[in-house]
Structure 1
Amino acid sequence: MGGRFPALALAITGYIVSIPIYCDSGFIILNSIRKHLVKTHKASPVFLSTVLGTALYATHTLVPPTPGPLAAAAANLQISDHLPLVMLSGMAVSVVAVVVGFLWGLYSQRYEVKEGQFERKVFPDQPEKQRQVGFFVSFLPVLAPILLITVSGLVGKGEDGIWQWLVFFGQPANALLVGLACCWPLISKSPRGGLEVYMTKGLEAGGKIALIVGCGGAFGLVLRASDFSQLLTSNELLVGFGLFLPFLMGAIIKTSEGMATVALITSSALIEPLLPLLGLDSVTGRMLALLACGGGSMTVAHVNDSFFWVIAEFSGMDTMTALKSITIATFLQGISVLITVQILGWWLL
């Protein structure tokens, strides 16, 4: 961006970074860049925080291999063989959500905060001296899993030789393991004690993610095994909602319990038995149902969402300011995703 468009650069960065990692961790990682841009460009902290937070949130809820969309696509909606299509469609729809978040961020500039007023350190400090690395080496851990999953989907099954290896490494777990291996140049020459800090922080974040995804999937299957789905199928009005029903399920669960990943996994598990009745029992229909669940699972982030507090505390917002900026932004994002998915449904189904 040449230093001229700090908010746009931050939105693009957040859009990319949140594809393979959790949005909470992404905001913490990028917060130092955001603070630097606030100082050097005299930009509004609320504006840049809203732009970064909503960009991270968009791909976090819509694009595999982020844990929520990946688990919903592979385990619940059974479209793991079409992950490249799911990734591309999620990236396209999430652009709409990023634009909406950016526009609300422009409006939120009117809210003033004192930068760092409520800020507190959550993780241990980084080692003071770090080796400088190139852009490609830094971007490779993000790029490698996306390319491997995409190539695996394009190659398909039943190929011999090197193509079988591409399919093998294109499996989501294997692709992420390759991405982890690509991190080695970033830490191989770290100062003494640096690797310990990185491993500690990684385990702190990874353990929480594994717990959230596992509990969310289990909760969804418990609800699916209950009479809840039968209750919905017996209600002809709800079944006639089409793509609005998965969105509504995701939004109700998300707003009540706070975690977008849990809402996405749970709502996708509940909606899967209803797909034939909703006219969505096809690859395209399941993909659109996943996007609708993703849109619902970002509606809305408020006081029971850890990401809400990460943004508020690292940006120096009080609770009211965060509600005016982040909560309303995520509501508008979810509605924009729903409208986009509905339009795609009329065109593709």
Structure 2
Amino acid sequence: MDLQLLLALVLGIATIVVLVLRTRLDAFVALLVAALLTGTVAGSAPTDTLDSIVAGFGSTLGSIGIVIGLGVAVGKILEVSGAADALAKAFVRALGRGREPWAMGGTGALVSIPVFCDSGYVIMNPLARSIARRRRGGYVTLALALGCGMTLTHHLVPPTPGPLAVAGIVGADLGGFILVGLVFTLVLLPVVVAYARWVGPRLEGRVTSEVREAVYGRAAGAGAGAGTAVLEEDQPRGAASDRRGGERDDAAAEEDPAAALGEPPAGAGPHRVGTLRAFLPLLVPLALIVANTVATAVDRNAQGVLSGDEGYDPSGPVAVLAFLGNPVVALIIGVVIAVYGLLPRWTTRDQVSGWLAQAAASAGLIILITGAGGALGQVLRDSGVGQELADAVASLALPGVLVPFLIATLVRLAQGSGTVAMITAASVSAPLVDDLGLAPLAAALACCAGSMVLSYFNDSYFWVVTRFTGLEGTAALQGWSGITTAVWAGSIPLVLVAGAVL
């Protein structure tokens, strides 16, 4: 192991931790400073480091920046129209009380099979907020369960691009990979829910004031932080009845998400959004993205192109779905459906512009920090730290199936991207599969499971989840980094079993 590269990695991580936790600088500046320091210590020329920062920032935002902006816009319209509240009521009614974290984790896992977890989280987060608003608490538990449910299938189940590429590199059977990846997901989902339920109440009081107010409203913001709120139907009948008057009515009126619509004109009647109509701005984009993913995967397989764009040429209906199912196009459609399908006719153009401006303002910092995380990851990749770690681990005497697992783990720690980590591990491990006595499917699962470890500062998804959840500093590490490490640790026995059985 090159000590200079190891020192660069350690100093970069330490810089982020110190600046975020001990200074007045925010995460955006801390990530950029760490990227500059890491590149310099690793021996890169200053201009090369700057080029890596610009390239990483641009490529990250090119893939997720527009999606975040559009997703936040959909969420804002869902909120002010009352549609998010309607969805929450339907969700709680269908699942029964006390099962909301399971619902969030399961929904996240399902959505993230065809959709990048960054995009899926932005699309589905308003639902978690609405359920928490109705429960008057528990938002952190729901947000973490949703985010980590998405992490499971994003890392373990094709046709998500990372696992799909790994299957192609190591020669794993794609159908078997999907089935075993789903089994891994089902076994690990209880770990997600258990950790979210354990850590959520402990962190509820540390949610930032801006997110707390956005979730619970001004009236409920202070009281919702203790993590002890319950659904109204969970209370004794008399207590619920007593609260229906007086100050409860005032609080409900103040935090009514549809209050911003204003009074309807005479004869228009109250504005109500049905459950099906409320689902459309979420359902249509997701359906388009799913259709695109499935159709493209089938078409790629027919053409013999399992990963990458070289040699693949979609045509006919697949090309149309590839356009409509692109997350950017799908979410533009979602915004149009939300604005024209959820808002009442008396809504003015100025009102809609104002709400979309508020959404853009709330997305701005998330986008900047996400891009800075991508910049740091690019510097770490270009400096050679990830490849150096991978080569070092491959030379160790370990149980065969743990070699790709640990390679993916260390590469993930070094540069942040789970997709890059699993693809790097697959590339390094592929020539070793026969020598290690591994089935290609076991090696592929090990690469993907190892890449789930410790999502933290250099992972763009870390910033998406923690900023939307309202967690900062050590609370973000305890919540999000902790839950991703928990599922990584839970996957180790499964990987060992896969190595022995497959």
Q: Normalised by the size of structure 2, how large is the TM-score?
A: 0.51
Match runs of 1:236-315 below 5 Å: 237-238=396-397, 240-280=398-438, 285-315=439-469
The Cα shift of 1:142 comes to 4.9
- 1:117 to 2:209 alignment: yes
Q: Does residue 171 of structure 2 align to residue 78 of structure 1?
A: yes
Instruction: Report the equivalent of 1:60.
Output: 154
Q: 1:96 Cα shift?
A: 2.4
Given candidates 319, 330, 339, the residue that maps to 2:493 is: 339
Amino acid at match of 1:90: G
Name the SS of the counterpart of 2:494 in structure 1.
helix
**Within 1, Cα distance between the matches of 2:459 and 2:303?**
39
Aligned-pair distance for 1:309?
A: 2.1
Matches within 5 A, 1:168-207: 179-180=325-326
1:316 to 447, 452, 470: 470
Name the residue aligned to 2:74: none
Aligned equivalents of 2:174 and 2:321: distance in 1? 12
SS of 1:298's equivalent in the other structure is: coil
Residue 25 of structure 1, CA deviation: 2.1
- Which of 101, 118, 124 aligns to 2:192? It is 101
| Contact 2:115–2:290 (8 Å) recurs in 1 | no
Measure the CA separation in 2 of the matches of 1:250 and 1:39.
38
1:145-187 CA-to-partner distances (Å, cap 9, x unmatched) read: 5655787799999xxxxxxxxxx89xx9998568459889757
Q: Which amino acid aligns with 1:299?
A: V
1:40 pairs with 2:198? no
Measured after TM superposition, the shift of residue 341 of structure 1 is 2.0
Q: Distance in 2 between matches of 1:333 and 1:119?
A: 26
Q: Call closer, same or farther: CA 1:85–1:155 in 2, change over 3 Å.
A: farther
The 1:146/1:228 distance shift into structure 2, 3 A limit, reads closer
RMSD over aligned CA atoms reads 4.3
1:87 and 2:162 equivalent? no
**Kept in 2: contact 1:49–1:315 (CA 8 A):** yes
Instruction: Give the match for residue 11 of structure 1.
Output: 105
* C-alpha distance in 2 between matches for 1:59 and 1:335: 16
| Alpha-carbon distance in 1 for matches of 2:319, 2:445 | 22
**Is the Cα contact below 8 Å between 2:456 and 2:477 reproduced in 1?**
yes
Q: 2:291 aligns with which of 144, 165, 189?
A: 144
- 1:317 to 1:154, Cα distance in 2 relative to 1, 3 A: closer
* Residues paired across the two proteins, number: 309
Listed as ranges, the gaps of 5+ residues in structure 2 are 1-90, 213-259, 262-272, 305-313, 341-348, 358-362
Give the match for residue 255 of structure 2: none
SS of 1:330's equivalent in the other structure is helix
Pick which of 304-313 and 293-302 moved more: 304-313
The answer to whether the 8 A contact 2:411-2:421 is kept is: yes
Give a deviation string over 1:118-141, Cα, whole Å, max 9, x none: 549xxxxxxx99976659756533
Q: Rg bigger for which structure?
A: 2
C-alpha distance in 2 between matches for 1:138 and 1:11:
20
Does structure 2 retain, via aligned residues, the 8 Å contact 1:62–1:90? Answer: yes
Q: Note if contact 1:118-1:313 (Cα within 8 Å) is conserved in structure 2.
A: no
Shift of 1:3: 4.7
CA contact (8 A) 2:408 2:450 kept: yes
In 2: Cα distance, 1:104 partner to 1:257 partner:
25
Aligned to 2:45: none
Cα distance, 1:24–1:118 mapped onto 2, change above 3 Å: farther
| 8 Å Cα contact 1:97-1:334 kept in structure 2 | no
CA distance in 2, matches of 1:98, 1:109: 16
- Counterpart CA distance in 1 for 2:127 and 2:468 is 12
SS at 2:409's partner residue? helix
Query: Which amino acid in the other structure matches residue 33 of structure 1?
Result: L
Q: Deviations over 1:191-223 (max 9, x none)?
A: 5999xx9xxx9xx9xxx8xx99xx79x97x998
Q: Is the 8 A contact 1:83 1:150 kept in 2?
A: no
Flag structure 1 segments of 5+ consecutive residues without an equivalent: 121-127, 158-167
**Is this contact kept in 1: 2:192–2:487, CA < 8 A?**
yes
How far did 1:248 drift? 0.5
Secondary structure of the corresponding residue to residue 111 of structure 1 = helix
> Contact 2:386–2:415 at 8 Å: present in 1 too?
no
